Amino acid sequence: MARALTTHATSYTLNSGPCRRARLIDTVQVYDVEEQVRRGIKKSGILRKDICLCTKLWCNYYHPDDVEGALDDTLRDLDTPYVDLLMMHYPCTFKREPDHFPGERRWKNDWQDQGHGVSNFSKGEIKTLLEESSTDRKSSPAPAVHQMEVHPYFQQTSFNEWLRARGIHVTGWSKQVAHMMRKYGKSPVQVVLAWGINSGGSVILKSVVDWQIEKSLEAGFELHAEDMSQISDSERKSSLQ
């Protein structure tokens, strides 16, 4: 049932009115849903060139000899010749000890045309990647994106600013949002999603329910400065992980 819902949610989202302006799909290898995402894309009828497709490599494929095979599996499951953004899921490895992070982290040169990013990394871990990139940009490209937990209760403001100062785009995810606001004729969830977008990042939505997807995609409106401040004042430094 869950896999069928993934297929439907992918197709439905791609064809939803608000999504027609920008179609981004964020998936992940270890959740074993890439085949269902592929079916959803096919079902939608949307051309591959009109979709920004992102996925994450799991921790046991970080060794330079393993990256290519793992990415080949992903490309096969998604039935695509490329992904637009490939991210490292977590800053840890489960094998190949001599070469694992924070030592040398080498991406295969065959994939240099695609975007590279990381997820759930600390500032220190990203500093290590940037240091590697400064000495060998060809085989250790600097991350273009960092996907991390960001919401009104856990804003990580200084970390966000540090990343942006280095040209790293922030993509925020949240398991739940407890803070509610009602304004602009929008739901509390839409307002908080708009806060994330107005803060300069990208927001990852998580739902397989049609009406929730539709409403979430209507969150691309501008919040007044005082409302941005009001939501930002909810900061509690409370991670929901």
Determine if residue 89 is labeled as part of a ligand binding site.
yes
**């992918």: which residue's tokens?**
10
Strand-by-strand arrangement of the 169-173 sheet = 24-26, 52-57, 85-88, 115-119, 145-149, 169-173, 202-203
Q: Which of 90, 89, 72 is nearest to 81 (CA)?
A: 72
| Strand stretches in the chain, DSSP E | 24-26, 52-57, 85-88, 115-119, 145-149, 169-173, 202-203
- The helix/strand count (H/E) of the chain reads as 8, 7
Q: Which of 156, 157, 152, 133 is nearest to 143 (CA)?
A: 133
Q: Which of 185, 188, 204, 196 is nearest to 220 (CA)?
A: 196
- Contact by Cβ (8 Å): 228, 195: yes
> How crowded is the C-beta side of 85, counted as CA atoms within 13 Å?
23
Burial 168-186 (b: 16+ CB within 10 A, else e): bbbbbbbeebebebeeeeb
Q: What are the residue numbers of the active site? A: 31
Q: Which residues are annotated binding-site positions for substrate? A: 89
